[in-house]
Amino acid sequence: MSELVERLVKGLPAGAVVVDPAVTEAYRHDMAGFCASGAPAAVVFPSTVEEVQHVMRTATELRVPVVPQGARTGLSGAANAVEGCIVLSLVKMDRILEVDPVNRIAVVEPGVVNAVLSRAAGEHGLAYPPDPSSWESCTIGGNIGTGAGGLCCVKYGVTSEYVLGLDVVLADGRLLRTGRRTAKGVAGYDLTRLFVGSEGTLGVVVRAVLALRPAPAPQLAMVAEFAGADAACEAVCEVMAAGFTPSLMELMDAVSVRAVNRLAQMGLPETTQALLLVAFDGTDPARELAAVGEICRAAGATEVVPAEGQAESELLLQARRLSLTAMELLGTTMVDDVAVPRSQQGAMLNGVAAIAERYGLTIGVVCHAGDGNTHPIVAFDADDPDEVARAKESFDAIMALGLELGGTITGEHGVGLLKREWLARELGPVGLELQKQMKGLFDPLGILNPGKLF
Domain spans of the chain, in order of start: 2-89, 96-214, 220-404
Could you give the 3-state DSSP secondary structure of residue 436? Answer: helix
Looking at residue 270, its pLDDT comes to 86
Read off the amino acid at residue 150. Answer: G
Q: Regarding the domain delimited by 96-214, which CATH topology (the fold level of the hierarchy) does it fall under?
A: 3.30.465
Q: String of b and e for 224-243 (b: at least 16 CB within 10 Å)? A: bbbebbbbbbbbbbebbeee
Has domain 220-404 been given CATH number 3.40.50.300? Answer: no
Looking at residue 1, its pLDDT comes to 60
Question: Considering the entire predicted model, what is its pTM?
Answer: 0.94
| DSSP-derived secondary structure letter, 448 | B
Per-residue pLDDT of the chain (454 residues; tens, 9 = 90+): 689 999 999 999 999 999 999 999 999 999 997 899 999 999 999 999 999 999 999 999 999 999 999 999 999 999 999 999 999 999 999 999 999 999 999 999 999 999 999 999 999 999 999 989 889 999 999 999 999 998 889 999 999 999 999 999 999 999 999 999 999 999 999 999 999 999 999 999 999 999 999 999 999 999 999 999 999 999 999 999 999 999 999 999 999 999 999 999 888 888 899 999 999 998 999 999 999 999 999 999 999 999 989 899 998 888 888 998 999 999 999 998 999 999 999 999 999 999 999 999 999 999 999 999 999 999 999 999 999 999 999 999 999 999 999 999 999 999 999 999 999 999 999 999 999 999 999 999 999 999 999 9
Contact 279, 220 (CB under 8 A): yes
Burial of 30 (0-12, 13-18, 19+ CB in 10 A): buried
Read off the amino acid at residue 281. Answer: D
Looking at residue 274, its pLDDT comes to 96
Residue spans of beta strands (DSSP E) within 34-84: 42-44, 66-69
Looking at residue 46, its pLDDT comes to 98
Looking at residue 418, its pLDDT comes to 93
Beta bridge partners of 66: 86, 448
Q: Whole-angstrom Cα distance, residue 56 to residue 418? A: 26
Beta bridge partners of 335: 377
Contact 101, 214 (CB under 8 A): no
Residue 83 burial (CB count, 10 A): 11
Read off the amino acid at residue 213. Answer: R
Q: Is 165 left (phi over 0), alpha (psi -120 to 50) or beta?
A: beta
Looking at residue 151, its pLDDT comes to 87
Looking at residue 189, its pLDDT comes to 96
Contact 423, 415 (CB under 8 A): yes
DSSP string, 234-297: HHHHHHHHTT---SEEEEEEHHHHHHHHHHH-----TT-SEEEEEEE-SS-HHHHHHHHHHHHH
In this structure, CATH architecture of domain 2-89: 2-Layer Sandwich (3.30)
The total number of residues written for the chain in this structure:
454
Q: Whole-angstrom Cα distance, residue 1 to residue 7? A: 10
Of 321, 374, 318, give the one whose Cα is nearest residue 133. 321
Q: What are phi and psi of 79, to 5 degrees?
A: -100, 10
Q: Whole-angstrom Cα distance, residue 419 to residue 453? A: 7
Residue 325 burial (CB count, 10 A): 14
Q: Whole-angstrom Cα distance, residue 398 to residue 377? A: 10
Looking at residue 95, its pLDDT comes to 98
Q: Whole-angstrom Cα distance, residue 233 to residue 349? A: 9
